[in-house]
């Protein structure tokens, strides 16, 4: 496995499994197994909605990154999805961890993840976030605003020491949607090169002896499938490094170019070619540093979705099928409370009927959720067998990232469980949120 996903150019068919975990098989027409486990059996045992996570796929994708970037540090972006088992898998495969809250940090440490392999970032770190990061001894804190400098320095104390990086805005627009483009000047993250805020913050850090500035950080956005934005970012970041050396005699030894590597959600969609990305970034970094007279810094990358997204499958039970206004609505027992991404970003999925062999004739349908919002749509332009009916099982691939991690308590519907599958065995990782869980937080009248 040398790329995160091979682009597919053929027309999708019901049997097209190109965006599914590589372990997916169809032993019988209409059936589907992932990690050697029948999806219908998972739904029968654990109920629906339920998330199925292929452990082998996650581990394989971690190894693919390590192989593609052998000279770099690879940090898994925990915001995509995190539980104790996921932390163990990432740790076992030699990756670091990128967190953005005390909650993610403490979950990882509780799972045994070494704190010195964890990076904390975020545009609005709370005092509690910083306090826990320093208490556990995280490897680096990424400074995102000038006010954090004094706060971190004071918390560390005059005799303390903390490695930090500075998140820089390179002024590059990239990503699959306006809401997930983070490398431009007009959003909340980072410090701009163009207006001098990044340079000013770096000068302030250098005046704090207890803070060790190890490098620069940037993140361009998410769902990027083109290599060119990363090459432009490398050039601009190296340019800033060269100016810092000239002005301060400072040689930074780390460069973090973030993640955001795109995956295909439907057959035929483009995905980032990881082998090409690694080759091009490596060459660009070496060339830019040679031209600037700099030592090549250690590269850091932060994949999240590209590690866990294609390893997950969401299972739903059809509640009703309605024909109205010239459209067919297939309503399922989940929705925007367990996957808000279609409502937020207009994401498109390729759901599939599993558990029985449906009609050979496909019909256009809109798969909708159970919530009281017109925007609660899981798949607006899906094609399912025209005999789909209540009680059927619908599977949505590429459901491992930003589903459960962004889930809400809307309509007091509990969040789904997560079930790992591997070598023919299924095991519960995260239990279903019960009504008792929800009610227990309501403590007064």
The string of pLDDT tens digits covering residues 212-232 is: 999 999 988 888 999 999 999
What's the mean per-residue pLDDT of the chain?
Answer: 91
Query: Angle CA(288)–CA(143)–CA(341) in degrees, nearest 5?
Result: 90
Dihedral sign for Cα atoms in the order 224, 230, 236, 240: positive
- How many other C-beta atoms can be found within 10 angstroms of the C-beta atom of residue 361? 8
Query: What average pLDDT does the segment 17-42 reach?
Result: 95
268-301 b/e (C-beta count within 10 Å ≥ 16 → b): ebebbbbeebbebbbebbeebbeeeebebbebbb
Instruction: Answer for the pair 81, 52: CB distance below 8 angstroms, yes or no.
Output: no
The string of pLDDT tens digits covering residues 370-387 is: 999 988 999 998 999 999
The string of pLDDT tens digits covering residues 314-348 is: 999 999 999 998 899 999 999 999 999 998 888 88
**Segment (H or E) for 153:** helix 147-156
Confidence grade of residue 12 (pLDDT, cut at 50, 70, 90): very low
Place of tokens 């059809």: 318
- State how far the Cα of 206 lies from the Cα of 149, in Å rounded to an integer: 10
- 289 included as an active-site residue: no
Residue 13 has pLDDT above 60, yes or no: no
Among 54-63, 226-235, 405-414, the range with the most confident prediction by mean pLDDT is: 54-63
Query: pTM for the whole thing?
Result: 0.92
Given 62, 83, 100, 372, which residue is catalytic? Answer: 372
- State how far the Cα of 333 lies from the Cα of 204, in Å rounded to an integer: 53
- State how far the Cα of 212 lies from the Cα of 229, in Å rounded to an integer: 29
The predicted pLDDT at position 180 comes to 42
Residue 293 has pLDDT above 80, yes or no: yes
Query: What average pLDDT does the segment 437-443 reach?
Result: 93
Instruction: Answer for the pair 419, 42: CB distance below 8 angstroms, yes or no.
Output: yes
**Segment (H or E) for 162:** strand 162-169
Residue 299 has pLDDT above 50, yes or no: yes
Query: What average pLDDT does the segment 391-417 reach?
Result: 95
The predicted pLDDT at position 400 comes to 97
For residue 177, give every residue at least 6 positions away whose Cβ sits within 8 Å of its Cβ, in sequence order, or none: 223, 345, 346
The predicted pLDDT at position 427 comes to 98
Residue 7 has pLDDT above 60, yes or no: no
Residue 174 has pLDDT above 60, yes or no: no
The predicted pLDDT at position 29 comes to 87
* Burial tier of 245 (Cβ tally within 10 Å: 0-12, 13-18, 19+): middle
| Number of helical H runs and strand E runs in the chain | 12, 20
For residue 185, give every residue at least 6 positions away whose Cβ sits within 8 Å of its Cβ, in sequence order, or none: 169, 171, 192, 194, 195
Residue 46 has pLDDT above 70, yes or no: yes
In this structure, the strands spanning 362-368 and 327-332 are parallel
Query: Angle CA(105)–CA(111)–CA(113) in degrees, nearest 5?
Result: 65
Residue 205 has pLDDT above 60, yes or no: yes
HSE value, Cβ hemisphere, 13 Å, CA-based, for 194? 8
Token pair of 118 as six digits: 């964890």
Query: What average pLDDT does the segment 292-311 reach?
Result: 97
Instruction: Answer for the pair 149, 141: CB distance below 8 angstroms, yes or no.
Output: no
- Beta-bridged to residue 327, according to DSSP, are 324
Place of tokens 């320093």: 134
The predicted pLDDT at position 173 comes to 55
Instruction: Answer for the pair 140, 120: CB distance below 8 angstroms, yes or no.
Output: yes
- DSSP 8-state assignment for residue 308: H
Higher pLDDT, 44 or 2: 44
Instruction: Answer for the pair 85, 110: CB distance below 8 angstroms, yes or no.
Output: no
Domains and CATH numbers, the chain: 33-53+309-440 (2.40.37.10), 55-308 (3.20.20.10)
Token pair of 312 as six digits: 């997950």
Q: Roughly how many angstroms between the first and final C-alpha of the chain, as a whole number? A: 57
Among 1-10, 59-68, 187-196, 221-230, the range with the most confident prediction by mean pLDDT is: 59-68
Cis peptide before 256, with omega less than 30 degrees from 0? no
The predicted pLDDT at position 404 comes to 92
Query: What average pLDDT does the segment 259-273 reach?
Result: 94
Rg of the chain over CA atoms, in angstroms? 23
| Coil, strand or helix at 389 | coil
- In the chain, the percentage of residues whose pLDDT exceeds 70 is 93
Token pair of 167 as six digits: 């998140």
Residue 97 has pLDDT above 50, yes or no: yes
The predicted pLDDT at position 187 comes to 62
Residue 10 has pLDDT above 80, yes or no: no
Question: Please, where are the H alpha helices in 314-411?
Answer: 341-345
- Beta-bridged to residue 254, according to DSSP, are 215, 298
Confidence grade of residue 8 (pLDDT, cut at 50, 70, 90): very low
Residue 243 has pLDDT above 70, yes or no: yes
- DSSP 8-state assignment for residue 261: B
- State how far the Cα of 305 lies from the Cα of 12, in Å rounded to an integer: 23
The string of pLDDT tens digits covering residues 103-154 is: 999 999 999 999 999 999 998 899 999 999 999 999 999 999 889 999 999 9
Give whole-number Cα distances, 325 to 329, 373, 377, in Å.
Answer: 10, 18, 16
- State how far the Cα of 284 lies from the Cα of 301, in Å rounded to an integer: 15
């Amino acid at each position: 496995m040398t790329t995160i996903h091979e682009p597919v150019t053929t027309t999708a068919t019901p049997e097209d499994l190109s965006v599914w975990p590589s372990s997916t098989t169809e032993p019988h027409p209409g059936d589907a197994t992932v990690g050697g486990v029948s999806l219908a059996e998972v739904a029968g045992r654990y109920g629906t909605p339920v998330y199925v996570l292929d452990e082998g796929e996650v581990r394989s994708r971690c190894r693919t990154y390590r192989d593609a970037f052998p000279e770099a540090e690879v940090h898994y972006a925990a915001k995509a999805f995190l539980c104790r088992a996921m932390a163990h898998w990432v740790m076992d495969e030699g990756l670091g961890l990128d967190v953005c809250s005390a909650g993610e940090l403490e979950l990882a440490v509780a799972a045994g993840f070494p704190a010195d392999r964890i990076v904390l970032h975020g545009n609005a770190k709370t005092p509690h976030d910083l306090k826990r990061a320093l208490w556990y001894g995280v490897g680096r804190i990424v400074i995102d605003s000038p006010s954090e400098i004094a706060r971190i320095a004071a918390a560390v104390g005059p005799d303390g020491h903390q490695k930090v990086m500075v998140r820089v805005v390179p002024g590059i627009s990239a990503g699959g949607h306006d809401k997930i483009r983070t490398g431009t000047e007009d959003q909340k993250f980072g410090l701009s090169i163009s207006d001098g805020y990044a340079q000013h913050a770096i000068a302030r850090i250098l005046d704090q002896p207890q803070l060790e500035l190890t490098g620069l950080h940037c993140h361009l956005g998410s769902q990027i499938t083109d290599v060119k934005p990363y090459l432009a970012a490398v050039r601009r970041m190296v340019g800033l490094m060269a100016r810092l050396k000239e002005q301060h005699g400072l040689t930074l030894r780390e460069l973090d170019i973030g993640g955001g590597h795109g995956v295909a959600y439907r057959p035929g969609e483009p995905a980032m070619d990881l082998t090409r990305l690694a080759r091009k970034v490596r060459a660009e970094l070496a060339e830019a540093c040679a031209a600037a007279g700099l030592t090549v810094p250690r590269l850091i990358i932060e994949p999240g979705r590209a590690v866990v997204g294609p390893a997950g499958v969401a299972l739903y039970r059809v509640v009703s099928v309605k024909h109205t206004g010239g459209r067919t609505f297939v309503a399922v027992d989940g929705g925007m409370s367990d996957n808000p991404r279609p409502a937020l970003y207009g994401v498109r999925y390729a759901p599939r009927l599993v558990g029985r062999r449906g009609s050979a004739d496909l019909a256009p349908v809109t798969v909708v959720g159970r919530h009281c919002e017109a925007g609660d749509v899981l798949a607006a332009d899906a094609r399912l067998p025209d005999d789909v009916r209540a009680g059927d099982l619908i599977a949505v691939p590429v459901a491992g990232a930003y589903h459960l991690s962004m889930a809400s308590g809307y309509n007091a519907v509990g969040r789904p469980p997560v079930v790992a599958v591997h070598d023919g065995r299924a095991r519960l990782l995260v239990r279903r949120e019960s009504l008792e869980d929800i009610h227990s937080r309501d403590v007064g009248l």
